[in-house]
Amino acid sequence: MSIKAIALDIDGTLTNDEKRITPRTKEALLAAARAGITLILASGRPAHGLRALAHELELDRYHGMLVAYNGSQVRDATSGELLFNQAIPVEEARAVLEHLRGFDVIPMLVDADRLYIEDAYRCTIYHKGAPKNIVKYERDACGLRIHEVHSLLDWCITPQNKILTAGTDTYLSEHHEAMAAPFVDKLSCMFTADFYFEFTAQGIDKARALSVALPERGIDPSELVAFGDGQNDIPMLRLAGVGVAMANATDEVKNAADMVTLSNNEDGIAAALEELVR
């Protein structure tokens, strides 16, 4: 195939378990960029949370793209130009926040570089039996500033690119269907990790964003290689000419992919590109 673009999920895919891009993977991606292949970061993170990794991979120099908020926003990595944006309307966002009050989850909203929460001291969930400060985790991963408000519902007066909820993995597994039930015909509802369940505008996912943004660069989805490990990556893997699942991906993701590579801790991206880009 002729490869013109590479789309990369971040957590569990591009970065290892220490949240770093390994040297081998970084060099493989920079070599692709130098050869004229467009690099795309495609993540549930807000745009601000993509900037450090985008700079590390020189997306600003090589005219890459940032697919943020699970695909509800796309920006040009060089100019910052907004290429696509579809947020949750205010009334629907407020309805979600009202509904979530009946569940043991921690809702979060993002605006630019700020992470909005209701209680900075209610920040602990349990992941695989161990306590996890989820507010600190999200703040650190995306380089955000914490902003505490009395009520997210009262604060929510503008459209939202996504509504993030965090919860203990076993609790979310048992309750996510009830959390999503009133909105299944109105919004996209998905896991981005087993401790994150998110809401975006209807029909929004990484594939939808790429199907709009790629043609603007003269790139057909058949010329795209996409890498991922999570449920929210499945539409993107299916859209791409070659969808690549990481070895650490769930079986559902592996079944949706065209090939499976090594894990995020074993330079799986570099190993696959060595096969595909010759």
Residue range 33-84, pLDDT digits in tens: 999 999 999 999 999 999 999 999 999 999 999 999 999 999 999 999 999 9
Give the CATH fold of the 90-201 domain.
3.30.1240
Same fold, 5-86+204-276 and 90-201: no
Question: For position 5, what pLDDT does the model report?
Answer: 98
Q: Helix, strand or coil for residue 205?
A: coil
Residue with tokens 């205010």: 90
Query: Is the alpha carbon torsion for 258, 216, 142, 53 positive or negative?
Result: positive
| The pLDDT of residue 106 | 98
Q: Where in the chain are the domains?
A: 5-86+204-276, 90-201
Q: Which residues of the chain have pLDDT under 50?
A: none
Say which residue the tokens 């880009």 belong to: 277
CB atoms within 10 A of CB 112: 9
Structure token digits, residue 76: 């040009």
How many whole angstroms separate alpha carbon 235 and alpha carbon 215?
Answer: 17
Q: What pTM value is reported for the model?
A: 0.92
Tokens of 61: 């120099």
Q: Confirm if 262 and 271 have CB atoms less than 8 A apart.
A: yes
In this prediction, residue 277 carries a pLDDT of: 84
pLDDT at 1: 66
CATH top-level class for 5-86+204-276? alpha beta
Q: How far apart are CA 217 and CA 8, in angstroms?
A: 17
Q: What is the pLDDT of residue 74?
A: 97
